[in-house]
Amino acid sequence: MGGLIIFMCGVIALVIKLTSKQNIENEDKYLPRKTEKHTKYVAYNNVDDYEKEAMSYYNEGTYLSYKKALDLFSKAIISSTKEKHNLYYYRANTQLKLNILQNALEDINTALKYLDDNDTGNITKYLYTKGLIIQKTGSHEDIIDFWKYLISFSKYKCNDCGKIRNKNLSYCTCGSRNFTVIDNEYINKAKIMLENADTNTIKNYIQNIHDVVYNKHFIAKQSIYNVFFAFYTKKKLELAEENYELGLQEFYTENLDKAKEYFEYALSLAPYNKEYKECLKQIKKEENKTIAEEKIMLGIAELNNGNANKAIQYFDDALNIYECAKYFFLRGKAFLTQGNITLCEKAIYNFNKAISLEADNSEYYFYCGKAHFERYNYNEALECFNKAINLKKDNWEYYYQRGLANNEVGNYADSIEDYSKAISLNCDILQNEDILYDIQDSVNKVESISSNSEKVKHIKALMTEGNEYVEIGCDYLNKNNFNTAIEYFNKAIEINPNYKYGYFNRATAYAKLEDYQNAINDYNKVIDLDVNWADAYRFRGLTYYNMNLYNEAISDFNTLIKFNILDAQAYYLRGSTYYLMDNMKSMAIKDFASASLIDTSYVNRISEETNINLMQVMDTLEKLSYLSEEETINAIHLIQGMPDEDLGQQEQSQNNKLSSENLSIIKSSIRKIDL
């Protein structure tokens, strides 16, 4: 029994031993095997052990192995009592791999301090590492300073003993101070480049370095090449960015050719920059857009001339070059204008494409609705018209077309409501017989259902533009019942907010009630609706006159005279206004004389209303021989052009075709006017 227990214990011990060994081997298999397998459980008794194991990890080249190597190099440096430059060098490289740059720079500087001046091999190697570190950490100034430092390592030859030194020592080992710089030409080029330090010079110089990089007389050429290649790259990227910014400026000012030139140069300096590539794509896109726009203009011209097929060819060409919502829309219109049901399908396709690219354009929905209407797709048409109206609520045509669609699907009441809205937005459509026919059709259908429909009454009132209300209002106006008149004018305006006759007559009623401000507001509305309605200016001017706003009144009377230079009343009204203004009596005389010349009935009226006596000039004016319209106009110009200081000294102008006799009579009559 005891023997069995001992045997079992031995087996268990063996299993544990084998399992432990297997675990160790399993751990080993996850370590890189670029070099020979590491010795496990090494007792580091001297610096060589640390350095050997550190180098083993360093050579593996993985992130984890570099971290282990860094720890071991540090222990080796602490343990070492001899020269350490090699350890500092490798620790610097390890830290460079791990991107611990500041510590790497400190280590490589320490390594360089330990080197003998004649150890050219290690100096070159260490300076190369320092160059790599500065590429990642240094500014442009640091790189230039480091290059200047490298230049000091140029080869010098002693002219007495012939020895070659790698530093500019003050004397040779033979005691001579007579040296010649072997790389003098190279050094001079380097100094020139440092002074200019522009990208092109750096580029050319780097090529020069590359050509002589293995020249044994200059130990630091490879280091300088690497350092300055990084410097050149930075300068090149800066120049690329400058050209990119210049290109953007030209692009925003639509100088595409110049912008393209800048972007292409930027991309040549930085071939992998996505922004630069995207800008060039945008330039190409804009160039295509310009070409496409020319095709579109030709297509529009053909469409306006009724050549829809030719227009479609141009629109096809444009869309092959550049796609946008507008171009699809125009091609859709070209298909729609041909009135072919089959082509309406193509029109709908193009309108939908336009909508997919620009969903907030009401016109695209409207024309898509028209195409559906032509295809008898009335419900789809209604959906499109609804969207168009939601985007733009003040277009009469949208409501009219929706009214047609509602009429087709039997929504007669909705149809009438749409027509009512269309008329309120543009009452001129009532002059179109086709539109009136469509409206009357819906009215008849609604009346057949309900003759008492308020909507029917409303649309009928609209169809007469509210004339019956204005006529009733004018009857009350003539009876001096101004308030009742205003009520009826209000009804006419409510039916048609753009009904100018309603505003004009209501303004007259307000003026009669001496509610001048409301009168002015209505006259302003009339003029907004019809800028050439002379009587609106005439009565607004009179209202300003009654409000003692003489300058505003003069402005309106001036407008009347521009409309008709022979408007006697306009001169009379303007003269009456001047008469009430300070220092404007001479202007009043000119206007009164002009009114009297056109219509002699104003002579008595002026004499009765002012202290200007025109009676005594009646006999003189009656002596005028018959004046043609042209002569009368010239006479008015003569009167209006007389200087205020002396109304009788105006000479006959070259353009004045009055006879000398008539000219003399007019001058004489004006001189007789007494203030």
CA distances for 494 relative to 246, 469, 470, angstroms? 59, 11, 12
- Rounded CA Rg of the chain: 51
Residue 120 lies in a domain: no
Residues 559 and 573 in one domain: no
For residue 157, the surrounding DSSP H or E stretch is: strand 156-158
Cα separation, 647 vs 612, whole angstroms: 15
Q: Which two tokens stand for residue 662?
A: 């008539």
pLDDT value, residue 124: 65
pLDDT value, residue 458: 66
Residues 246 and 296 in one domain: no
How many residues are present in the chain?
675
For residue 77, the surrounding DSSP H or E stretch is: helix 63-79
10-residue mean pLDDT profile of the chain (675 residues): values are: 52 46 38 40 57 89 90 87 82 92 89 75 73 69 59 64 61 71 53 52 48 42 54 72 85 81 82 81 77 86 88 88 88 88 89 92 93 92 94 91 90 85 78 78 73 63 68 87 91 81 92 94 93 92 94 94 90 91 84 82 78 59 63 77 45 47 62 50
Cα atoms found within 13 Å of the Cα of residue 63, Cβ hemisphere only: 2
Residue 631 lies in a domain: yes
Look at residues 448, 463, 478 and tell me which one is the last residue of a structural domain: 463
Residue 480 lies in a domain: no
pLDDT value, residue 369: 93
CATH number at 518 reads 1.25.40.10
CA distances for 423 relative to 40, 100, 230, 490, 665, angstroms? 99, 81, 75, 17, 57
- For the chain, count helices (H), then strands (E): 33, 3
pLDDT value, residue 155: 60
Residues 190 and 160 in one domain: yes
**Cβ pair 478, 472 in contact under 8 A:** no
Helix, strand, or coil here: 658? coil
**Cβ pair 224, 157 in contact under 8 A:** no
Residue type, 433: E
Number of domains in the chain: 4
Cα separation, 465 vs 495, whole angstroms: 7
Residues 577 and 538 in one domain: no
- The model carries a pTM of 0.41
Look at residues 272, 296, 319 and tell me which one is the last residue of a structural domain: 272
Residue 39 lies in a domain: no
Residue 96 lies in a domain: no
Residue 86 lies in a domain: no
Residue 530 lies in a domain: yes
Residues 301 and 432 in one domain: yes
Residues 253 and 304 in one domain: no
Residues 294 and 190 in one domain: no
Nearest to 571 by CA among 594, 548, 538, 543: 594
Cα separation, 520 vs 501, whole angstroms: 15
Enumerate the β-bridge partners of residue 180.
157
Residue 85 lies in a domain: no
Any idea which residue has 């009429």 for tokens?
Answer: 407
Any idea which residue has 């100088």 for tokens?
Answer: 255
Residues 577 and 604 in one domain: yes
Residues 323 and 446 in one domain: yes
Nearest to 247 by CA among 267, 229, 227: 267
Residues 453 and 305 in one domain: yes
For residue 93, the surrounding DSSP H or E stretch is: helix 85-97
- How many other CB atoms are there within 10 angstroms of residue 116's CB atom? 10
The DSSP letter of residue 613 is B
CA distances for 249 relative to 25, 243, 256, 259, angstroms? 66, 10, 10, 8
Look at residues 532, 548, 563 and tell me which one is the last residue of a structural domain: 563
Residues 389 and 313 in one domain: yes
Sequence-separated (6 or more) residues with CB below 8 Å from residue 342: none
Q: Report the sign of the C-alpha dihedral through residues 568, 574, 577, 581, in that order.
A: negative
Structural domain for 652, as ranges: 569-675
Residues 578 and 660 in one domain: yes
**Cβ pair 570, 561 in contact under 8 A:** yes
